[in-house]
């Protein structure tokens, strides 16, 4: 039972923008960095965004992260078919003294 | 480049033990913590804990204490996950991941992941 809540699914047509939310609390997102991972079908997760809004080298600038209070968001602009994947947020939780992942959002490109 | 390579799939009977390895390449092994993440079939990611590769000190997540053991062999840059007294509900893919932040704590900044090891527990 994850403490970070994401919508189960999101979809969009190629070229459009999709936003995924990640809702937490003061003990996790409210006070700590947020990370986003992309998991393509049958593969290991891949770091997409670190420290709320930073992109590792090689990640297209179509992906962007933000945070407001106890919620975070991942936006994918210029949606492409290869963006079809499961997306997870993550943050350290001070109350649990552990890392917590979001429930995951499956993105479908229509 | 940084790479983590895990051992192959395992099929075990209930009550048995399994040891999954995670070998690091491309960086100095003792400068970054190794985390373990579980993914049950069709489910999301669960953080199991991490091990300080310099001191060998393990930290287990709530809900993962008792039957799991993290260990190291720094001479071959390898971390291990052992699960004892296996149950059917341990069937999952287990991933190791390197934390960029270093050795002070786990942070979630997992820049490199192993390919995953499927552990199947069935009689």
- Rounded mean pLDDT of chain A? 97
> Nearest Cβ partner of B45 from A45, A46, A51?
A45
The average pLDDT across A1-28 equals 95
Q: In A, which residues are within 8 Å of B109 by CB distance?
A: 33, 35, 47, 50-51
Q: Tell me how long chain B is.
A: 123
Whether the pLDDT of residue B85 is over 90: the answer is: yes
Q: How many CB pairs under 8 A join A and B?
A: 63
The average pLDDT across A9-29 equals 97
Both structure tokens of A26: 């003061």
Q: In A, which residues are within 8 Å of B44 by CB distance?
A: 2, 88, 101-104
Residue A68 CB neighbours (<10 A): 8
CA distance A46 to A38: 5
Give residue A2's pLDDT. Answer: 78
Closest CA to A93 of B82, B62, B20: B62
Give residue B106's pLDDT. Answer: 86
Give residue B65's pLDDT. Answer: 85
pLDDT digits (tens, 9 = 90+) for B54-72: 999 999 999 888 999 999 9
Whether the pLDDT of residue A81 is over 80: the answer is: yes
The average pLDDT across A6-33 equals 97
pLDDT digits (tens, 9 = 90+) for B7-20: 999 999 999 999 99
Give residue B105's pLDDT. Answer: 85
Interface of B with A in 74-93 (CB under 8 A): none
CA distance A106 to B59: 30
Whether the pLDDT of residue A1 is over 70: the answer is: no
The average pLDDT across A15-25 equals 97
Both structure tokens of B26: 């491309």
Whether the pLDDT of residue A9 is over 80: the answer is: yes
The reply to whether residue A101 touches residue B46, judged by beta carbons under 8 angstroms, is yes
Q: How far is A62 from chain B (nearest CA, A)?
A: 19
Q: Does residue A15 come out as left (phi exceeding 0), alpha (psi in the -120 to 50 range) or beta?
A: left
The reply to whether residue A37 touches residue B35, judged by beta carbons under 8 angstroms, is no
Q: In A, which residues are within 8 Å of B95 by CB distance?
A: 44-45
Both structure tokens of A69: 């209070």
Whether the pLDDT of residue B81 is over 90: the answer is: yes
Q: In B, which residues are within 8 Å of A39 by CB distance?
A: 45
Cα A16 to Cα A38, A75, A100: the distances in Å are 18, 11, 30
> Nearest Cβ partner of B47 from A98, A103, A104?
A98
> Nearest Cβ partner of A88 from B44, B62, B97?
B44
CA distance B12 to B6: 17
CA distance A90 to B110: 10
Beta bridge partners of A75: A19, A64
> Nearest Cβ partner of B47 from A33, A47, A100?
A100
Closest CA to A99 of B43, B47, B91: B47
Question: Is A21's Cβ below 8 Å from some Cβ in B?
Answer: no
CA distance A94 to B43: 24
pLDDT band for B102, please (50, 70, 90 cuts): confident
Beta bridge partners of A105: A87
pLDDT band for A6, please (50, 70, 90 cuts): very high
């Amino acid at each position: 039972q994850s403490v970070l809540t994401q919508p189960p699914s999101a979809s969009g047509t190629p070229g459009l923008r999709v936003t995924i939310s990640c809702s937490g609390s003061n003990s996790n997102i409210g006070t700590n960095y947020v990370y986003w991972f992309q998991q393509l079908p049958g593969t290991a997760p891949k770091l997409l965004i670190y420290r709320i809004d930073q992109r590792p080298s090689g990640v297209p600038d179509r992906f962007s992260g933000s945070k407001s209070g106890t919620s975070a968001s991942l936006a994918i602009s210029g949606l492409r078919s290869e963006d079809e994947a499961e997306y997870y947020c993550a943050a350290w939780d001070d109350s649990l003294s552990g890392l917590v992942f979001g429930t995951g959002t499956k993105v479908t490109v229509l | 480049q940084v790479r983590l390579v895990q051992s192959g799939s395992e099929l075990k009977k209930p009550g048995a033990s399994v040891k999954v390895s995670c070998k690091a390449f491309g960086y100095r092994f003792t400068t970054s913590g190794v985390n373990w993440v579980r993914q049950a079939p069709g489910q999301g990611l669960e953080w199991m804990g991490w091990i300080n590769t310099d001191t060998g000190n393990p930290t287990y997540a709530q809900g993962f204490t008792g039957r799991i053991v993290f260990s190291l062999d720094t001479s071959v840059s390898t971390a291990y996950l052992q699960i004892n007294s296996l149950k059917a509900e341990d069937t999952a893919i287990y991933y190791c991941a390197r934390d960029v932040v270093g050795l002070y704590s786990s942070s979630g900044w997992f820049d490199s992941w192993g390919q995953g090891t499927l552990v199947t527990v069935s009689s």
